[in-house]
Structure 1
């Protein structure tokens, strides 16, 4: 209702007054409010005035807030009144004559050619689908001004379209009643809204929008300059600064102007920051989102205060700590989706039979896909999922960076990548920082899910699509834009229920040119970001160089025993094992060591895990016990001392006591 366009003719005025007049008994002082609009219907021509504009806006507010719009009562029967015109369809959901929500939609060129009977049927089907959450499981009434539809379920189906639409009504308990067209005022008015203006409002969202817009309008009264600008625009005088008066709102460069009311500014920043699409982003990301919709001086200052004082962020976010060692950035890709990184997020609570997340990120645009997985999964299963979610959208990448997960080291995965001519780059042993991009994305995703699920962590799989949208539409400091904009060449659509300003259409040549410039800027921004990160990281790192033939100690992960036997205390255990001899320098910060034959681990290590041995070499060291695929030492059992079974949930788990 709040998006209803300003009438441009007497016919449109009559339609709007017909809708509002139907509920006049719920609007106090309706006659006085609507008088400037009814005066436009008199002879003498259509002349829209400022007084009429105020009346039009006030009626929209009255229609979008109590007592006109009521809350649903599920103990009472619902009623849908629908209608169709040559250009659109409309419907209203009511209870006891009180409206609950409005619905209107323009017809496509194909549907405009349908017969009247089929248009009216389509209006019923779309309205029922729109409000199915109200209608399922209870009897409701449908009122239409097309008499033959009263016997819809008893008629012979003559076309495929009718069969398809009627099938969508199966499972509902309803009765169709005939209502004269002269009495079906509301649905008729909704179906005749001017083309390209689709109205869809519910009572709760309309009330929130109305209250916020009311505060924005009141904020203009606090600034004499804004009041003067509005007065000039309403009298069609020229103003500087790019201000526009549209839909009774003040815009600047397509953004809604907010007056100097700090409480309102903080309220707006809080709403966007805590919204699922906002995802409790940081200062930079939230500032970009607020600035794309609203306009006031000092947006960043307002956002900074909101983000720093946000209780959810204070409880769930951690400070970034720079990693030690000199940074060795990966080469910057030249094209989108030719170089990707992938990793898994494990250890999540079971959520609708999903147990982990596969994170795949494009190294150039930083665009990411988050795919939920069910245990157990194999390399063959992941290959099929990769084809369904990544290959069909972006093709096969040329290079894949991943950790040393057994899935990525399997023969099947390596053979698949080889046949697709995709090279695989695995990180060095026990150094996930080699794929820092995936680690950062994982941390962002985990933080989003932690903040959004709150007390219901098992709902994380339901939030995963929103998390992907949040990440890809949030400003990325390395590329100086959002990943969405880097891939598609345009800003993401605004995820806020407000009226947006008009924008001019650009030519295809301009779009293609901008995309080419954007790709070049991406590479330059990434190069600058890499230099900046390297300089900052190297401040806290020391360069360590080893020579072939030198002896070093290796730092391995501590083993965590998971049997019912008495746990060994590793508090005083050594942190390094060895020494081992350096065989080869792989890269500037990676070395291959000569390990004993019983060591089932990858022999290439990052320099941060190596420590040069001081003193004379006595004998070659041994890695304690056997190493599993995760790089953790494991022990070989000597004897089974006992057996038992435990019940965990609905699963019976056998356990052994070993020595």
Structure 2
């Protein structure tokens, strides 16, 4: 029976004679494209040819970027492959009731293996040796051609996946390449994807390559002036009369500052024209017409505001995605881990974990807000936006993990040791080594600000006496003048 270029019979599996004839009649290769075509057709039957990779090495060398240069070695390899295809053996059909035997061999240019069951070969495997393996001993090169088979139910499966991924916590492609280099695993991609998805280090330090979560939740558009107002504070201003904060109150419908006129309600604005005419002595028809025009004007404004809100939501939602969690699920929490202004070293923020947790979802407050089960002593509000949450994969922990030290909602690093002291532009500073960071990540911090942030941290007195930098503390700086000439020797 012929099937996909093979002829299957009771004797075994053989190559299709028509395909073999096409390879034998192949003309001399003169271009890189011709070499690719020949190796592609011949490589389809590489499992029939012993040491196929070693024989084809001179031809594969023609595919490098150095350029096409036909050599006598390439001619020998070209004719050798043709002869190997015409004299290839018939592969035996495997008998799964009998044990399989793998034989390995290696040379200076490649290594190979043959699978058999004591009789004829079942399949051949060969590969050109990599430059990094050229210096290995012969028995070590032979072992490279032997890939261990790991059953899906093997207790060693977790260790094999960890060896392929945990070395660098890379993505699926590089981890899969490292796995297939030494092991054969059925459905290796699916097993490795599941392992990487549940990897604690990757979940804690990698962000998802997806659109940000949460669709836009626009505020309702008011229908009347002074029906809905917004208030905000402008802070950090220079003090005037002892005050440095301004309260701003803006009407959301007219977009104008309305001061503190909170008593103007919808009922007082929408009174009938005859009532106003009676109170102010105006013609009833004129007042009524003004109110009708005003209502139409306000209606047009509201329609424009609705249209603008819908258009903005359309463009916003186009680059965001819907995300929701069920009560009882575990999620990662992304904090504002950027260092505070007084830290001044970006390395700590880059090296810090991007997510903390996992934490259990206790309640769904509204469409985009969730209440999490934080540790008992956590000094942070336990309601978070869905945009800072990420689904947790893997077995949930028994108790919620502790949060790192926080300052104004940001991760607060812990100082370990004050290394040096200096005065920079008249400001006293200390060099602080932070917990969990290398010595190269130490940063200079202002002494006054540092003591405010860490009042319990004791700075050693020796730092103040032997501090370096521009000048030492407590000693005024004096510029040295030119040396004066002394009296001439007698």
TM-score by length of 2: 0.35
Identify the structure with the greater helix proportion: 1
Pair member with larger Rg: 2
TM-score by length of 1: 0.27
Indicate the structure whose relative CO is greater, using CA pairs within 8 Å and at least 6 residues apart.
Answer: 1
